[in-house]
């Protein structure tokens, strides 16, 4: 697909998702995120040969929230390699992202790095590797996005840190089973900082692009230092676990590896082709953006760039 066609498709998608923008809810448990204008929508598509198409609010910064779990995982894998999998599982949880009971039921084991329990363990690993893990993450993202303006939103960070009772409970439970090694406070501080990273759809798509490349090489010529097999595990986990208890449904509807966040962003990898990030704040009951999910679904069905190929029935759907 050339850039003109991609741009025309994104313009078509903005019109299609307009009726969805007022739907869904904002995440009340992070009070600062309820002040966001829900009617925003942005989307960016970047190809491995460096073409960028974007539309709407693609250059507006939003809270990346759980999309940071993907970046934290990549950094931790780069540091500790496959040893990471001895501390974090690779199975879908089939449960909400902030599930507590499963951690206790499974004696402190974590299902995967994208549910909060697994992400807290990944953050714990980063806390053991770096004095200031969030700065290491920030540096990687600025490099990947070729943009120094990426930063942590301090208001969102304080808002979540002040009310992260559920994550604190999960972290204490993990600690009681010996699954995290640093102090609970250190892990929670770092986790809330990484979740409060503010980025645009275009910046996120750029950072994820190396996951689409066989050689892990970005457009800028920077290489992610993951081995091919590690990159493949990350992409596979995005497909099976990236959208939580809705991952099976998304695999059947969209057929792309994706990672979502309660800030309303969803990023997708199109192996061998490029990356896609859509953003709109209104969330469904699983914590995934309604309009962003639909936008990526329409993109995949129109282009056939997914496991499912082109699908006329989605084209015809309202």
The footprint of ligand DON (CB under 6 A) covers 65-66, 97-98, 116, 160, 167, 195, 260-262, 287-288
Comparing CB distances to ligand DON, the nearer of 216 and 257 is 257
User: Burial level of 178, CB count in 10 A (0-12/13-18/19+)?
Assistant: exposed
The torsion of the CA quartet 138, 151, 85, 125, rounded to 10 degrees, works out to 70
Least CB distance to ligand DON at residue 288 (A): 6
Question: What's the length of the chain?
Answer: 318
Shortest reach from residue 8's CB to ligand DON, in Å = 30
Q: How far is the CB of 65 from ligand DON (least distance, A)?
A: 3
Q: Name which of 47 and 66 has its Cβ closer to ligand DON.
A: 66
Question: Up-side HSE of residue 73: CA atoms within 13 Å toward CB?
Answer: 30
Pick 247 or 300: Cβ nearer ligand DON: 247
Cα 32 from Cα 262, distance rounded (Å) = 12
Of the candidates 211, 193, 183, the one whose C-alpha atom is nearest the C-alpha of residue 74 is: 211
Q: Give the strand order in the sheet containing 258-260.
A: 52-56, 42-47, 274-279, 265-270, 258-260
5 vs 285, which CB is nearer to ligand DON?
285
When CB distances to ligand DON are compared, the closest residue is 66
- 12 sits in which H/E element: helix 3-17
Q: How far apart are CA 147 and CA 162, in angstroms?
A: 30
CB of 14 to ligand DON, least distance (A): 22
Nearest distance in Å: CB 41, ligand DON? 17
Report the residue number, 140 or 288, with the smaller CB distance to ligand DON: 288
Rounded least distance, CB 290 to ligand DON, Å: 12
260 vs 303 by CB, closer to ligand DON: 260
């Amino acid at each position: 697909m050339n850039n003109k066609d991609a741009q025309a498709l994104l313009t078509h998608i903005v019109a299609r998702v307009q009726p969805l923008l007022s739907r869904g809810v904002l995440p009340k448990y992070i009070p600062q995120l309820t002040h966001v204008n829900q009617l925003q929508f942005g989307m960016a598509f970047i190809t491995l040969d460096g073409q960028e198409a974007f539309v709407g609010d693609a250059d507006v910064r939003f809270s990346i929230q759980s999309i940071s779990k993907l970046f934290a995982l990549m950094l931790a894998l780069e540091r500790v390699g496959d040893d990471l999998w001895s501390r974090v599982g690779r199975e879908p949880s089939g449960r909400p992202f902030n599930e507590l009971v499963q951690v206790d039921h499974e004696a402190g084991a974590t299902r995967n790095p994208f549910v909060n329990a697994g992400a807290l363990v990944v953050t714990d690993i980063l806390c053991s590797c770096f004095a200031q893990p969030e700065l290491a993450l920030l540096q990687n993202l600025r490099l990947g996005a070729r943009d120094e303006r990426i930063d942590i939103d301090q208001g969102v960070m304080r808002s979540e840190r002040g009310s992260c009772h559920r994550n604190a409970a999960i972290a204490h439970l993990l600690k009681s089973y010996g699954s995290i090694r640093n102090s609970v406070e250190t892990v929670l501080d770092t986790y809330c900082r990484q979740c409060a990273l503010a980025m645009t759809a275009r910046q996120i798509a750029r950072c994820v692009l190396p996951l689409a490349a066989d050689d892990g090489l970005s457009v800028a010529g920077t290489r992610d230092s993951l081995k091919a097999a590690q990159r493949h595990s990350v992409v596979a986990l995005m497909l099976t676990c990236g959208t939580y208890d809705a991952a099976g449904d998304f695999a059947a509807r969209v057929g792309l590896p994706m990672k979502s966040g309660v800030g309303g962003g969803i990023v997708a990898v199109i192996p061998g082709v490029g990356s896609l990030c859509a953003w709109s704040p209104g969330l469904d009951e699983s914590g995934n953006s309604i309009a962003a999910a639909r936008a990526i679904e329409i993109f995949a069905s129109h282009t056939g760039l997914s496991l499912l190929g082109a699908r006329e029935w989605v084209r015809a759907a309202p």
